[in-house]
Structure 1
Amino acid sequence: MTLLTVDDLTVGYRGPNGLTPVVHQVSFEVEPGQVLALVGESGSGKTTTGHAVLGLLPANGQVIGGRIRFRDQELTELSAKGRRDLRGRAVSLIPQDPGVSLDPVRPVGAQVEDVLLLHTDLDRAARRERVHELFEQVGFTDVERRYRQYPHELSGGMRQRVLIAAAIAADPELIIADEPTSGLDATVQKQVLDLIDELRARSGTAVVLVTHDLGVAADRSDLIGVMQGGRLVEAGPTARVIGTPEHPYTRKLVESVPSRIDRRPAGRPSGDTVIEVRDLTKVFGRHTAVDHTSFEVRRGETFSIVGESGSGKSTTARILTGLTRATSGRVTVLGADVTALSRRGFRPLRRDVQIVHQNPYSSFDPRFDVFDVVEEPLRAFAPARWPWKRRAAHEDRVLAALEAAALPADFAERHPRELSGGQRQRVAIARALVLEPTVVVLDEPISALDVSVAAQILALLRRLQEDRGLTYVFISHDLAVVRAISDRVAVMSNGRIVEQGPVQDVFSNPQHEYTVQLLDAIAGRDLLVGAR
């Protein structure tokens, strides 16, 4: 029996020029207990489709045509009150961002209890007891303590578990999970997806999983619908769509998955050591972020540091680039002991050591156009008498940096707010290259990008390294990416490096239990590698 039928759904958004369709004649069916993954890049229409099913389109959104049938109810004909009665009771949402979805000034238990207040006849004591049961189901211990905690007291994975508890509180028949693990570490992602699987197996709940992560879709769905430009371009059983994709866009997505990217040839660069870290420790108050860490990086290689949030990898990157002072230990970069340098003393080294941040937009001055953003490092080193001449003096180098980052020259006149996420990351790379550095530290540079855009950035980084002999320190929690691009890798946990060595050795024969856990958590590894 079909639980959800979406037939020729067309959705539009109203703007200054009228109603513009963004989802075009989408059709699919979901049966009880099934998982349908809607996959595609940002702007493909997958989230809009999910929100249309739930009746949660924004005020300027509208279903233009088509039908949405849940069991025997036509959802497009329901009143606003009818939609509210259905949501949470029979159909529920696991939203993408728990930081936005949870009220920061109320305990999380009370927020889950709201669902029970709306959709059940339970009294206050029974509602509280039910929330305790839900928290146990989602893997919490000390549930009364969790009930009383506020969102800021929980980790990202814990907050996502609270949202899952709220979504299942009234035993819904259908869950729309909108990027439920986006931004989570691999092991936390696996825990959350395992939890959804367990709930589905136990209660027969159907799931529409909205995701840009083809690995997650490959691992966790029965059916896949591939969306591009608001249209469903391919749909079918997961194994068939991944194994023998028919549409060119689907093939492009599958080939862009890091596990499908041609890996580096084995072998360790024989260049001299450009970074040497010995017994590095960084303490913040009572918290030891980096704990007696040692490694070295050779010229021309990609050395990756992997681990979950809080493992110490980003703090290590900030110490390498002079943005954070070490508590103890020794860090030598290009022959200079950076632990003995003040920020001012590190300044001359910035010509040779640059950083690319995870979210480049937050590091751009909103008043600057792209030329100003890329030129900023040159301006920092320009003689004081140059201000009125600097743009002309730096034009060649800025345009050359943009070209190296595969951006057209006319992008120099645009503002970052006019660019996509991938284009902004290219601008950040151009800014890092403009001083012609020797070492580039990349802190989660593709974690916020769609899979095909991320593949383009990885290909660009590899080409730049080959052309310029760059040395990369690559910070990431994504082991599939690290496996594709690295020469050597260090695995960090709780501030310590628990394992390091050539990437092929670490991945094929991990020695530490934590490394094994990380490798086991790579989404879609078996199916996507097998599809090759």
Structure 2
Amino acid sequence: MTLLAVDDLTVGYRGPRGLTPVVHHVSVQVEPGQVLALVGESGSGKTTTGHAILGLLPASGEVIGGRIRFRDQELTELSAKGWRDLRGRAVSLIPQDPGVSLDPVRQVGAQVEDVLLLHTDLDATARRNRVHELFEQVGFTDVERRYRQYPHELSGGMRQRVLIAAAIAAEPDLIIADEPTSGLDATVQKQVLDLIDDLRARTGTAVVLVTHDLGVAADRSDVIGVMQDGRLVEVGPTAEVIGTPQHPYTRQLVESVPSRAALPRTNRATGEKVIEVRDLRKVYGGHAAVEGTSFEVRQGETFAIVGESGSGKSTTARILTGLTRATSGSVEVLGTDVTGLSRRGFRPLRRDVQIVYQNPYSSFDPRFDVFDVVEEPLRSFARERLPWKRRAAHEERVIAALEAAALPADFAKRHPRELSGGQRQRVAIARALVLEPKVVILDEPISALDVSVAAQILALLKRLQQERGLTYVFISHDLAVVRAISDRVAVMSNGRIVEQGPVEDVFSDPQDEYTVQLLDAIAGRDLLVAAR
């Protein structure tokens, strides 16, 4: 018996020019206990489809045509009262961002209890006991303490577990999981997905998994629907869609997955050390964020530092760029001991050491157009103080940097808010290149990008390295990406490097148990590799 049937669904949003369709004629079915993954890049319509199924479209959204049947009920005709009765009890949502979805001023246990208050006849004591049971099911210990905590007291993975507890509280028949592991470390992602799988196996709950991560879809779904530009371009059993994709866009997605699309290595390392770190230590408030770390980076290579949130990798990057002072140890960058330098003292090295951040938009001045963003490092070292003369003198270098980052010259006139995530990251790369540095620190530069855009950025970085002899320090929590771009890798855990060496050696024969866990957590590893 079909649990959910979406037939010829068309959804639009109202704007200044009227109602614009964004999802076109989508048809899918979900059986009890089945996982359907809707995959596609940002703007493909997958989240809009999921929200339409749940009746959670924003005020500007509207189902234009088609039908959505859940068991024997037509959902497009439900009243507000009908949705209140159904949503949370029979169908529920695991949202993407727990930081937005949880009330910051209420205890998390009380927020889960809200579902029970609305959909059950349990008294206060029974509701609290039920929340304790749910917290145990999602892997919490000391559940009463967790009940009383506020969202800010929990890690990202813990907050996501709270949302899962709320979604399953009334034992629904269908869960829409909207990017439930986006932004989580690989091992935490695996724990959350294992939890959803376990609950599905125990209760028979069906899942519609909305994700841009083809690896996650490959690992966790029975059926995959591929969406592009609001249309379902391919749908079928997961193994078939991954192994023998029929649509060009699906083939593009499969080929873009880093674990399967490792870039050819042309290691140009000269043997000259450009970075040397010895016994690095950084303490915050009595806690050692980095402890006894040592490594070296050679000219022309890509050296990756990989680990989960809190491992110390980003702190290390900030010390390398002079944004944070080391507590002890020694750090030499391009022959200069920067260990005790202030930001002002590090300034002479800024021409040669640049950084590209995870979220470029947050590092852009909101008043600046693209030209201003890319020119910013040049202004810091400019001798000419008259703005119009300075801008004219810098125009050629700014345009050259944009073109090196595969952006046309006319992008200089645009504002970053008008650009896609991939275009913004290219602007950030152009800004890093404009001073013609020798070393670029890349701090999670593609973690927020869709898979095909991420592949384009990785290819761009590799090309620029080959053309300019750049040295990269690549910070990431994603081992699949590290394998695609790096020559050597250091694995960090709890502030220490537990393993380092050539990337193929570490991947093929890991020596530390933590490295083994990270490798095992790579989503889609088995199916995507088998599909080669």
TM tier, smaller? over 0.9
C-alpha distance in 2 between matches for 1:398 and 1:268: 27
The separation in 1 between residues aligned to 2:260 and 2:23, in whole angstroms, is 30
Listed as ranges, the matches of 1:375-414 within 5 Å are: 375-414=375-414
In structure 1, the residue matched to 2:138 is: 138
Matched AA of 1:272: E
SS at match of 2:388: coil
Report the TM-score, using the length of structure 2 for normalisation.
Answer: 0.99
Partners of 1:216 and 1:523 within 8 A in 2 = yes
Match of 1:299 in 2: 299
1:67 is matched with which residue? 67
Instruction: Tell me which residue corresponds to 1:459.
Output: 459
User: What is the Cα deviation at residue 386 of structure 1?
Assistant: 4.0
Q: Report the equivalent of 2:118.
A: 118
Give the match for residue 438 of structure 1: 438
Contact 1:300 1:465 in 2 (8 A): yes
| 1:290 maps onto 2:293 in alignment | no
**Which whole-Å deviations, capped at 9, do the CAs of 1:259-281 have from their partners, x for residues lacking one?**
12134448783430000000000
Deviation at 1:286, TM superposition (A): 1.8
Paired residue for 1:247? Answer: 247
User: Which residue is 1:162 aligned to?
Assistant: 162
Paired amino acid for 1:333: V
Residue 450 of structure 2 corresponds to residue 470 of structure 1: no
For 2:379, give the aligned amino acid. Answer: R
**Distance verdict in 2 for CA 1:474–1:243, change over 3 Å:** same
Specify the SS of the correspondent of 1:259: coil
What secondary structure does 1:475 align onto?
Answer: strand
Correspondence list, 1:80-119, <5 A: 80-119=80-119
1:171 maps to what in 2?
171
**How far apart, CA to CA, are the structure 1 residues paired with 2:173 and 2:340?**
61
**283-292 vs 140-149, which moves further:** 283-292
User: Which residue does the alignment assign to 1:23?
Assistant: 23
One-letter code of the match for 1:304? A
Question: Can you list the C-alpha shifts for 1:33-63, whole angstroms capped at 9, x where unaligned?
Answer: 0000000000000000000000000001000
3-state SS of the aligned residue for 2:259? helix
Task: Say yes or no: does 1:43 pair with 2:36.
Answer: no
How many angstroms apart in 2 are the aligned matches of 1:227 and 1:343? Answer: 47
Give, in whole Å, the separation in 1 of the partners of 2:385 and 2:162. Answer: 58
Q: Secondary structure at the match of 1:291?
A: strand
In 2, distance between residues paired with 1:265 and 1:325? 34
Distance 1:180 1:338 in 2: 41
Task: Work out the CA distance in 1 between the residues paired with 2:55 and 2:389.
Answer: 56
Q: Which residue of 1 aligns with 2:508?
A: 508
Q: Unpaired runs of 5+ in structure 2?
A: none
Asked whether the 8 Å contact 1:353–1:441 carries over to 2, the reply is: yes
Q: Is the 8 A contact 2:5 2:30 kept in 1?
A: yes
> How far has the Cα of 1:199 moved from its partner?
0.2
- How many angstroms apart in 2 are the aligned matches of 1:321 and 1:348? 12
Aligned residues between the structures: 532
Listed one character per residue, the Cα deviations across residues 406-435 of structure 1 (whole Å, up to 9, x for unaligned) are 000000000000000000000000000000
Report deviation, 1:366.
0.8
TM-score (norm 1): 0.99
- Whichever residue aligns with residue 376 of structure 2, its letter is E
Query: Counterpart of 2:504 in 1: which secondary structure?
Result: helix
Give the Cα–Cα distance (whole angstroms) in 2 for the partners of residues 154 and 341 of structure 1.
34
* One-letter amino acid of the counterpart of residue 514, structure 1: Y
The corresponding residue for 1:520 is: 520
- More deviation in 387-396 or 92-101? 387-396
Q: Secondary structure at the match of 1:260?
A: coil
Amino acid at match of 1:140: F
* 1:268–1:487 CA contact under 8 A, matched in 2: no
Kept in 2, the 8 Å contact 1:264–1:487? The answer is no
For 2:191 and 2:31, the matched residues in 1 are separated by: 25
8 Å contact 1:224–1:235 — kept in the other structure? yes
Q: Match of 2:238?
A: 238
**Cα distance per residue 1:497-525 (max 9 Å; x no partner):** 00000000100000001000000000000
Q: Which whole-Å CA distance do the structure 2 matches of 1:287 and 1:451 have between them?
A: 36
Q: Which amino acid aligns with 1:483?
A: R
Corresponding residue for 1:209?
209
* Counterpart-to-counterpart distance in 2, 1:340 and 1:262: 38
How far apart are 1:2 and its partner, in Å? 0.3
Equivalent position of 2:12 in the other structure: 12
Cα distance in 1 for partners of 2:434, 2:268 equals 28
Taking the aligned partners of 2:116 and 2:145, their CA distance within structure 1 comes to: 20
Tell me the residue number matched to 1:344: 344
One-letter amino acid of the structure 2 residue matched with residue 445 of structure 1: P
Aligned partner of residue 182 in structure 1, secondary structure? coil
1:449 alignment counterpart? 449
8 Å contact from structure 2 (residues 384, 390) kept in 1: no
Q: Which whole-Å deviations, capped at 9, do the CAs of 1:79-121 have from their partners, x for residues lacking one?
A: 0110111000000000000000000000000000000000000
Q: Which residue identity does 2:197 align to in structure 1?
A: D
> What code does the residue aligned with 2:495 have?
G
- Hey, what does 1:373 align to over in structure 2? 373
Q: Distance in 2 between matches of 1:406 and 1:460?
A: 8
Show the counterpart of 2:151: 151
Matched residue SS, 1:465: helix
Mind listing any 5+ residue stretches in structure 1 that lack a counterpart?
none
Give the structure 1 partner of residue 495 of structure 2: 495
The aligned amino acid for 1:219 is D
- Post-superposition offset of 1:248: 0.4
Aligned-partner Cα distance in 2 for 1:262–1:342: 39
SS in 1 for 2:252: helix
Shift of the alpha carbon at 1:159?
0.2
Determine if contact 2:262/2:483 at 8 Å carries over to the other structure.
no
> Any residues of structure 2 matched to 1:220-231 within 5 Å, and which?
220-231=220-231
Q: CA deviation at 1:340?
A: 2.9
SS in structure 2 at match of 1:115: helix
Give, in whole Å, the separation in 2 of the partners of 1:340 and 1:445.
27
Q: Distance in 1 between matches of 2:267 and 2:192?
A: 37
- Provide the C-alpha distance between the structure 2 equivalents of 1:124 and 1:348, rounded to a whole number of angstroms: 64
Q: How far apart are the structure 1 equivalents of 2:517 and 2:262? A: 24
For 1:436-482, what per-residue CA distance to the aligned partner results, in whole angstroms no more than 9, with x for missing partners?
00000000000000000000000000000000000000000000000
The amino acid that maps onto 2:297 is V
8 Å Cα contact 1:268/1:502 also seen in 2: no
Query: Which amino acid counterpart does residue 104 of structure 1 have in structure 2?
Result: P
Sequence identity percentage: 88
Does structure 2 conserve the Cα–Cα contact (< 8 Å) formed by 1:221 and 1:238?
Answer: yes
Q: CA deviation at 1:287?
A: 1.5
- In 1, the alpha carbon distance for the partners of 2:12 and 2:262 equals 40
Deviating 4+ runs (over 2 angstroms): 262-271, 384-388
Asked if the contact 2:375–2:431 (Cα under 8 Å) also holds between the matched residues in 1, the reply is: yes
Deviations along 1:191-219, one digit per CA (max 9) or x if unpaired, are 00000000000000000000000000000
1:364 aligns with 2:364: yes
CA deviation map 1:236-279 (0-9, x unaligned): 00000000000000000000000121344487834300000000
Residue aligning to 2:334? 334
Superposition RMSD in Å: 0.9
Please tell me whether the aligned partners of residues 263 and 459 of structure 2 are also in contact (alpha carbons under 8 angstroms): no
TM-fit CA distance, 1:384: 4.6
